[in-house]
């Protein structure tokens, strides 16, 4: 029987472009604990795993990704975006952590996550908006990121007490070793001296959860009805 190892021990190849769809309960855990304003931008939407949950909860979503994965608009590099798409007031994503990323950047996962977070904070701040990023829980303890997070309008940390199972391999499942958390900022709300620590328990631990989303396609507010021209495209043309 094949050995199942945690993702970070790399028993399996990392997915190209750090593509790991987020299970629905993870986004539901965020939505149960924070109130999002306005249309939401999912800038690394992948196949829409987060966007669909946001839509099912009644949010308008603008979904983009560097790679066209058949959902939203491909060919949009988050690092090149000068601002949030027109009308968006919240940015929600599970970003590429950098240890398998499309660009590789400077090859250091922690630096890529830091750069991603800096850019996300900049864009959300510019829009007086909100920002929710799914990160490895232990990552927020790093010295540089801790100091960056202390400067921002971080409102809460929603800690997932259940570990995320990211993918299955030949019928076997993988449970990651890491715990994850949503870090949530609100640049439009009065500052709070310290972020709130919230625990979300996931399936089995939550009462009255969200409906099962299945694979149903929900209407997407996207390139057709939203002006995404402010987002510069990379060479990858996408849809
Ligand atoms: C960990 S996956 C998450 C996908 C989706 N957010 C979810 O949670 O299901 C990261 C995604 O980021 C995308 N990505 C990587 N680098 C990017 C960039 N510079 N700009 C936009 N998207 C990027 C990848 O193509 C991939 O789909």
Domain ranges of the chain: 36-93, 94-110+127-206
Please provide residue 74's backbone torsions phi and psi, each rounded to the nearest 5 degrees: -90, 175
Asked if residue 115 has its Cβ within 6 Å of ligand 1, the reply is: no
Evaluate: CB of 78 within 6 angstroms of ligand 1: yes
Torsion angles phi and psi, residue 87, rounded to 5? 90, -20
Q: Does ligand 1 come within 6 angstroms of the Cβ of 94?
A: yes
pLDDT of residue 99: 60
Over 60: is that where the pLDDT of 216 sits?
no
CA of 46 to the centre of ligand 1 (A): 5
Whole-prediction pTM: 0.81
Mean pLDDT of 44-49: 97
List the structure tokens of 129: 């908006």
CB 27 near ligand 1, within 6 Å: no
Q: Under a CB-based contact definition with an 8 Å cutoff, are residues 155 and 184 in contact? A: yes
Decide whether any atom of ligand 1 lies within 6 Å of the 209 Cβ: no
Q: Six-digit token pair at 165?
A: 């199972």
pLDDT at 218: 37
Could you tell me if the CB of 44 is within 6 A of ligand 1?
yes
What's the token pair of residue 91? 């940015």
CA 238 / ligand 1 centre spacing (Å): 14
pLDDT band at 97 (very low <50, low <70, confident <90, very high): confident
Burial of residue 125, with CB atoms counted within 10 A of its CB: 0-12 exposed, 13-18 middle, 19 or more buried: middle
pLDDT at residue 152 above 80?
Answer: no
pLDDT at 223: 39
Asked if the model's pLDDT at residue 204 lies above 60, the reply is yes
Residue 28 — very low, low, confident or very high, per pLDDT cuts 50/70/90? very high
**Average pLDDT along the chain:** 79
pLDDT of 237? 33
- Best substitution site from 16, 43, 44 to test ligand 1's pocket, by max atoms within 8 Å of Cβ? 44
DSSP H or E run through 115? helix 109-126
CB of 102 within 6 A of ligand 1: the answer is: yes
pLDDT grade for 38, boundaries at 50, 70 and 90 = confident
Is residue 10 pLDDT above 90, yes or no? no
pLDDT at 18: 79
Integer angstrom CA distances of residue 35 from 52, 171, 195, 211, 220: 17, 37, 15, 18, 20
């Amino acid at each position: 029987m094949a050995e199942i190892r945690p993702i970070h021990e790399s028993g399996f190849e990392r997915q190209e472009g750090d593509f790991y769809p987020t299970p629905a309960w993870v986004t539901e855990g965020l939505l149960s604990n924070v109130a999002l304003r306005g249309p939401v931008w999912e800038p690394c939407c992948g196949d829409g795993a987060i966007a669909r949950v946001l839509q099912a909860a009644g949010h308008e979503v603008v979904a983009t990704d560097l790679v066209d994965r058949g959902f939203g608009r491909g060919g949009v590099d988050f690092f090149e975006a000068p601002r949030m798409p027109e009308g968006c007031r919240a940015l929600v994503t599970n970003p590429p952590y950098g240890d398998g990323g499309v660009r590789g950047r400077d090859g250091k996962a922690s630096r890529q996550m830091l750069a991603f977070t800096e850019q996300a904070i900049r864009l959300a701040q510019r829009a007086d908006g909100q920002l929710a990023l799914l990160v490895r829980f232990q990552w927020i303890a790093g010295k540089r990121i801790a100091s960056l997070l202390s400067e921002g309008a971080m409102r809460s940390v929603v800690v997932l007490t259940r570990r995320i199972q990211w993918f299955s391999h030949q019928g076997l499942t993988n449970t990651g070793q890491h715990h994850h958390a949503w870090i949530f900022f609100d640049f439009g709300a009065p500052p709070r001296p310290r972020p709130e620590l919230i625990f979300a328990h996931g399936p089995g631990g939550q009462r009255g959860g969200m409906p099962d989303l299945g694979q149903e396609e929900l209407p997407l507010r996207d390139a057709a009805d939203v002006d995404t021209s402010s987002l510069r495209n990379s060479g990858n043309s996408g849809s």
